[in-house]
């Protein structure tokens, strides 16, 4: 099969979510841009997440095992990670995610702890980032209020994120 750029048609191709810079090690508040259940090579199921920092620092992809046929432990760890994500992100019913569907995960805002990761690709050792943990967003920014617009970094305007000033009057 030959390729000709002149014949390239992208009509049925989705735009890549995220793009841009990968999140570097640190803590961020992210919004789940996309969530999809996918098959694994081992015959199981995983949840693939596309996460984007709410302040524009970048994005990262994360995978959570939902079912690993050869390992109850790996399945248990993955489900524990999923519940942590749902609880930290304020999901309305984290115990019954199946009832609400994978779509109910999209747009949740959650804290993440990103760590560095060394991996091998094409025979070369490379450095990257990975999601090490899902956190309550208030551990990243104590002024965070889920569902609203993000507060400015480091409380830059002296507010608690809702637009109201809460600084003591200095006189």
Pairing state of beta strands 124-135 and 109-121? Answer: antiparallel
Q: Which long-range contacts (CB under 8 A, 24 or more apart) does 127-130 make?
A: 128/22, 129/22, 129/23, 129/24, 129/25, 129/60, 130/60, 130/62
β-sheet with 45-53: strand ranges across = 59-67, 45-53, 26-39, 109-121, 124-135
The stretch 143-164 carries a mean pLDDT of: 51
Domains, the chain, with CATH or none: 25-151 (2.40.50)
- Please give the Cα distance from 79 to 45 (Å, whole number): 11
Residue bearing the bigger pLDDT, 8 or 59: 59
In this prediction, residue 15 carries a pLDDT of 63
**pLDDT confidence band for 160 (50 / 70 / 90):** very low
- Please give the Cα distance from 100 to 141 (Å, whole number): 28
Residue 10: phi and psi, rounded to 5, are -105, 20
**What residue spans of the chain are helical by DSSP H?**
72-88, 97-100, 137-140
pLDDT tens-place string over residues 27-42: 999 999 999 999 999 9
Are 89 and 9 in contact by the 8 Å Cβ rule? The answer is no
Model's pTM, two decimal places? 0.73
Q: Is the pLDDT of residue 159 over 70?
A: no
CA distances from 3 to 6, 7, 8, 13, 15 (A): 9, 8, 8, 17, 21
What residues contact residue 160 under an 8 Å CB cut-off, 6+ apart? 143, 145, 151, 166
- Please give the Cα distance from 166 to 19 (Å, whole number): 37
Q: Per mean pLDDT, which of 8-17, 83-92, 147-156 is the most reliable?
A: 83-92
Are 151 and 158 in contact by the 8 Å Cβ rule? The answer is no
């Amino acid at each position: 099969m030959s390729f000709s750029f002149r014949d390239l048609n992208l009509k049925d191709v989705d735009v890549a979510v995220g793009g841009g810079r990968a999140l570097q090690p640190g803590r961020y508040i992210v919004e789940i841009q996309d969530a999809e259940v996918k098959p694994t090579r081992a015959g199981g199921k995983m949840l693939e997440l596309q996460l984007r920092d709410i302040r524009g620092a970048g994005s990262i992809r994360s995978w959570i095992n939902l079912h690993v046929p050869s390992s109850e432990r790996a399945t248990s760890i993955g489900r524990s990670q999923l519940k942590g994500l749902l609880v930290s992100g304020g999901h309305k019913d984290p115990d019954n995610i199946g009832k609400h569907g994978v779509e109910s995960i999209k747009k949740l805002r959650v804290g993440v702890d990103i760590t560095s990761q060394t991996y091998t690709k094409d025979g070369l050792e490379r450095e990257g980032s990975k999601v090490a943990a899902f956190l309550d967003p208030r551990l990243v920014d104590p002024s965070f209020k889920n569902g609203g617009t993000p507060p400015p970094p480091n409380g830059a305007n002296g507010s608690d994120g809702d637009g109201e000033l809460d600084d003591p009057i200095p006189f």
